[in-house]
Amino acid sequence: MDRKPHWNAAYTAKADDQVSWFQQMPTRSLAMIAKVAPVGSVIDVGGGASRLVDALLDAGRDDVTVLDISQAALDRTKVRLGDRATKVTWICTDITEWRPDRTWDVWHDRAVFHFLTDAASQDTYIKALKAATHPGSAVILSTFALTGPERCSGLPVQRYSPASLAARLGSGFVLEDEALEAHVTPWAAIQDFAYAAFRRR
Ligand SMILES: C[S@@+](CC[C@H](N)C(=O)[O-])C[C@H]1O[C@@H](n2cnc3c(N)ncnc32)[C@H](O)[C@@H]1O
């Protein structure tokens, strides 16, 4: 399936704060990143138009990468950042087709892995994750929780608990922190998210 047109259309049709996953401030992600990796490089996988990159730059991180399948999303984030966009590395690709050429200290993904509902796509994602991290890297995954919605952006999702995320990643990753969060959409609906932070062995 070519996922790119779906996501470019989603970001072209709606303003940042009109999509269900919008967060004015990604507080939980920032707290988890600060806890498990207070310094070091960060890649936000499927970062889209998230304000995480703004906050990471504000916090003094100087090696931040945003990867997304949608150029429209990345362009929107670049415009918002203005001159600061040049401090960020931008990668436009489908994560399941990506061959990383370096590693990061932190891999962060909020609401991307859950769109991969077949084992083969999940396996290619995990292969990219392993190629883009090293022993000691932190991996933060956030997906719809077991009590969360069955669809996101009109697409089916695979729901997880922190424990089932741990099982899917495998024994090479140690679960260090977890949380459940009731995300409030811009139209005041509740979506339960699971967050899990791992350390790569
Ligand atoms: C639900 S949004 C979450 C965006 C952002 N992480 C946040 O929390 O605001 C999912 C994001 O993943 C991106 N995406 C979806 N499938 C992808 C894939 N296969 N590879 C890379 N990015 C993908 C979309 O373009 C979108 O920006």
Does 41 score more than 80 pLDDT? yes
- Specify the pTM: 0.98
Return the bridge partners of 184, or none.
190
Measured distance CA(99)–CA(118) in Å, rounded: 20
Q: Is 191 in the pocket of ligand 1 (CB under 6 A)?
A: no
Both tokens assigned to 48: 């889209």
Q: 109, 122 in Cβ contact below 8 A?
A: no
State in Å: Cα 70 to ligand 1 middle: 8
pLDDT at 128: 98
Q: Is 112 in the pocket of ligand 1 (CB under 6 A)?
A: yes
Return the bridge partners of 196, or none.
141, 178
User: Helical H runs in the chain?
Assistant: 4-13, 27-36, 52-58, 71-81, 119-131, 162-169
pLDDT band with cut points at 50, 70 and 90 for residue 2: confident
Select from 44, 68, 98, 109 the residue to mutate for testing ligand 1; criterion: most ligand atoms less than 8 Å from CB: 68
Q: What does the pLDDT look like over 48-73, one tens digit per residue?
A: 999 999 999 999 999 999 999 999 99
Measured distance CA(129)–CA(170) in Å, rounded: 12
Cβ-based neighbour number of residue 75 at 10 Å: 17
Both tokens assigned to 147: 């009590």
